[in-house]
A and B are shown apart, each in its own frame.
Chain A
Amino acid sequence: MGLTSRSAAEIYTVRLQRGVAARWREWGELAIQGLLLFAAMVSVFTTLGIVAVLVVEAIPFFQQVSLVEFLTDPQWTPLFAQKHFGILPLVAGTFLTSAVALALAMPVGLLSAIYLSEYAPVRVRAILKPALEVLAGIPTVVYGYFALLFVTPLLKRVVPDLETFNALSAGLTMGVMIIPLISSLSEDALYAVPSSLREAAYALGATRLEVALRVVIPAALSGIVASFILAASRAVGETMIVAIAAGQRPILTLDPRRAIETMTAYIVQVSLGDTPHGTLEFRTIFAVGLVLFLLTLVFNLIALRIIERYREVYR
């Protein structure tokens, strides 16, 4: 050893000093960090901005229309001479189309997820799964015209008294659109169930169906429920299909054969119509938009909570 302990310590200190290059590097890292933060904040601020606009525009509306009237009046006629501002007919319309859509999409989506995850041979799964996901990529306007020009005439043959614009056709078509969402998310949840659990069940003499029903589905339940809730949120927010095929008649009914109007369709109607900006009539869309936003927000929060809990299970 040629070095005394002192000179070794000196070398060490020298090496620890930051040079110009190191400072540049630090600045560089700081800049990149800032850029990434900015990117992340863009979406946060956009969301906040949207909420702010909704609230700010809705406030003058609620100064003229009481919250009680808004929530309880059974009529929605802001664009007529005899004005009523009860959101219930729009909520009923949204509920109706969403319920029809979910009644179709939940069972079909879940069954196809079970098939893909538990029954399909590897090769079938490799083809079917992406194919299903392509369905989700079809523009909703295509679904809308499909509902109006194809599904409705078909339904008219079997459903008596079906109006040309109706909740049933729009709802069913929306259901078809949502199937891939449910099937894909549920399938992820089912597939994530460790195969050791399936083996355990088989080794106890369970059949394939029993393994699926009693082990895999219960273990994946929160993921499946989360997919249902996300689908509900999607159905509530869906616009094009209902605007095209469900009609623009805000009546308070739960009869799916009739023309109705959903919250989203109403917003489209006013936004594209000739209602002057700044009027009470125009502000209705912000009040409706706020309700819609709160509804989907609640759905998404619930789904997130459930998914989080579900992640913990196999930690």
Chain B
Amino acid sequence: MEEIVLETQNLTVYYNGRPAIEGISLRIPRRRITAIIGPSGCGKSTLLRCFNRMNDLIPSARVTGRVLFEGVDLYGPDVDVVEVRRRIGMVFQKPNPFPKSIYENVAFGPRIQGIRDRRKLDEIVERCLRAAALWDEVKDKLHQNALTLSGGQQQRLCIARALATEPEVLLMDEPASALDPIATMKIEDLMRELAREYTIVIVTHNMQQAARVSDYTAFMLAGEDRVGRLIEFGPTQQIFTRPRDRRTEDYITGRFG
């Protein structure tokens, strides 16, 4: 049996009072890659953003149900959002490095946690850039503006930046969709590498990508009512070879949008 890190129980998210996803119950195993797939608009990003409470930033969003992280309800009364986001990192669809140096991008998280010691910061920056397979490419230009990097390098920098707060979970929302095939491959290799230490939840549109990198797959679909629901969850291999639900099969064989 897998050890569970994150769990949603009957999770529903409303935008302006209208549900976007409904009744999602899902368990994310530790040190595995879980892919969330489904057609556009079915609520994949909405679900992902519940895991680090990024939906808090959208005034019209309201969440009901529970999201348990190591058994603690993230939406409980005494929960410190800052701490949640530190321990559950996020990488976005479009690479979004700060217009600062490569070094300062990675040091951002540690700095706001109050780490000032230069040697400690140097050590964190190097470790995270290595973990994100970027160190060799940037070690000679750490103080150059991050925006001078290529898209693929920027995305790996964003991963390094997320790792610097020492999270346990990494949420990735279509992290490779803005990248070319070679940069995508590098990110996928990196994810496999990171999965030894981290729990990864990835949203992807790319079915091959889900099949290639993930251990578990969740398939979501919005019905006629445009409310996203979890259709099927299981080991990736089973979802892709012997789906239980007819709609999953239709989707992965390309008979759907």
How many angstroms from the CA of A304 to the CA of B57 in the assembled complex? 35
A219 with B99: in contact, given A199-B92, A200-B158 (CB under 8 Å)?
Answer: yes
Partner of A197, one of B82, B98, B109, B113: B98
Docked pose: A210 CA to B162 CA in angstroms: 17
- A204 interface neighbour in B57, B85, B94, B147, Cβ under 8 Å: B85
Query: In the complex, are the beta carbons of A204 and B96 less than 8 A apart?
Result: no
Give chain A's interface residue range (CB within 8 Å of chain B). Answer: 20 to 34
Interface residues of chain B, those whose CB is within 8 Å of chain A, are 52, 54, 57, 59, 82-83, 85-86, 89-90, 92, 94, 96-100, 108-109, 111-113, 147, 158, 161-162, 164-165
A295 vs B108: C-alpha distance when bound (angstroms): 40
Q: How far is the CA of A153 from the CA of B15 in the complex (A)?
A: 54
Q: Is A196 an interface residue (CB 8 A)?
A: yes
The answer to whether A214 touches B108 (Cβ under 8 A) is yes
- Chain A 71-93 near chain B by CB (<8 Å), digits 1 or 0: 00000000000000000000000
Pairs across A and B, CB under 8 Å, 24 listed: A121-B59, A197-B98, A200-B96, A200-B161, A201-B108, A202-B54, A202-B85, A203-B85, A204-B85, A204-B86, A204-B89, A204-B108, A204-B109, A204-B162, A204-B165, A205-B82, A205-B83, A205-B109, A206-B112, A218-B98, A219-B98, A219-B99, A313-B147, A314-B99
What is the bound-complex CA distance between A121 and B59, given in angstroms?
Answer: 9
- State the CA gap A210–B165 with chains docked (Å): 15
User: Which A residues are in CB contact (< 8 Å) with B98?
Assistant: 197, 200-201, 215, 218-219
**CA A144 – CA B47 in complex, angstroms?**
58
Q: Determine if A210 and B112 form an interchain contact, defined as CB atoms under 8 angstroms apart.
A: yes
A276 at the B interface (CB under 8 A) = no
Across the interface, name the chain B residue whose C-beta is closest to A219.
Answer: B99
Q: Does A194 contact B (CB under 8 A)?
A: yes
**Residue numbers in B under 8 Å from A196 (CB-CB):** 92, 94, 96
Task: Find chain A residues with CB under 8 A from B59 CB.
Answer: 121
Identify which of residues 201-237 in chain A touch chain B, using a CB-to-CB cut-off of 8 Å.
201-207, 210, 214-215, 218-219
Given contacts A204-B108, A204-B162, A313-B147, contact A199 B82 (CB under 8 A): no
